[in-house]
Amino acid sequence: MPRGPLYEDGYSPHLSGHETFPLRYGWLKKAFDAVESTEGRSESNRHVFLGPHAIAEFGVGRNMVASIRHWATAAGVIKEGSESTQIETTPLGRRLFGKDGLDPYMEEPTTSWLVHWNIAGNSKKTTWFWAFNHYPAMVFEREGLVQAINGLAKEREWPRAAYATIKNDVACFLRTYVALPPSGKSNLEEGLESPLTELGLIRQTGTRERYRFVRGPKPSLGVGAFGYAMTQFWNERFPNTSTLSFEALAHEPGSPGRVFLLDENELIDRLSSIESATDGAYRWSETAGLKQVIRDAIVDKEAATRLLARDYSSAHRRRAA
């Protein structure tokens, strides 16, 4: 029996918003800066992404401005404010892109892993979530993925899930993770790669329309990003438990094992060192054959964000060596 957010009653699919443009280098920082410079004022700051001012500010067309806002929101860099007229930066956005931010120009792989986690681990991004958390095969064709999501939409009776909309969403999904040449008479901007292509999570195999998910070790995925993701998954899906099973971390929809495409051996290796990696916030246990992670207290979002400094300080030491 399929489980997870996509199969819950009342789930509303999100199959658009990106205006067919995949995430581009520099977009998240641009969106963060634009919102940060206007937040906290009494008047609305929604004009940041609206009208001629926004087109001039970002130097792109109206549809691409909407795409920039979409990706910055999906990546967890900005969010809807507490007031309906406001857009705000997030703690993660400030940690990465604010003053003295850890990685304002997305030079470190940890930033791309965090962006991937926030997008593909979020059930609001239907195609991304389903592809990484539910698609049963490792090798697939573009049209096969379209048909699978279209079949799910019909089965669940999702509104506003037209075949053409799903097809465009799948095309954008693939261009987010695979460096594809521009098609037809596309301009140079369309052919620019997404920063998430560097993660190597999806690769073309054989023909242009055939792809495979790359499951296994992820050397560039740091302990900070992994701990951050595990914390978020635990707090959102199992908030009242002090233990979390290996099975849930490996196979539950939206889990680190699923979203990061980690095989079981790689996940066990990471969990075996989770206590030292998180300064004792989590402990790995294999008592009586029961594999699980234990926490004595809830690790909040702020504490999880602090874990990220481990990855970036390691990167700075490597560059200085």
Among 113-117, 128-132, 144-148, 284-288, the range scoring the smallest mean pLDDT is: 284-288
Rounded to whole angstroms, how far apart are CA atoms 251 and 260? 11
- pTM of the full predicted structure? 0.93
Residue 187 confidence (pLDDT): 47
Chain mean pLDDT for the chain? 91
With CA atoms as reference, report the closest residue to 97 among 111, 113, 116.
111
Q: How would you class 28 by CB atoms within 10 Å of its CB: exposed for 0-12, middle for 13-18, buried for 19 or more?
A: buried
251-268 pLDDT tens trace: 999 999 999 999 999 999
- Partnered with residue 320 across adjacent β-strands are none
**pLDDT > 70? residue 287:** yes
Rounded mean pLDDT of 187-204?
Answer: 80
Rounded to whole angstroms, how far apart are CA atoms 277 and 224? 8
Residue 311 confidence (pLDDT): 93
Rounded to whole angstroms, how far apart are CA atoms 298 and 301? 10
38-47 pLDDT tens trace: 987 878 888 8
149-160 pLDDT tens trace: 999 999 999 998
In the numeric block, which tokens belong to residue 250? 């490996």
Residue 301 confidence (pLDDT): 85
Structural contact between residues 304 and 225, judged by C-beta atoms closer than 8 angstroms: no
**pLDDT > 50? residue 207:** yes
Rounded to whole angstroms, how far apart are CA atoms 267 and 207? 31
**pLDDT > 90? residue 229:** yes
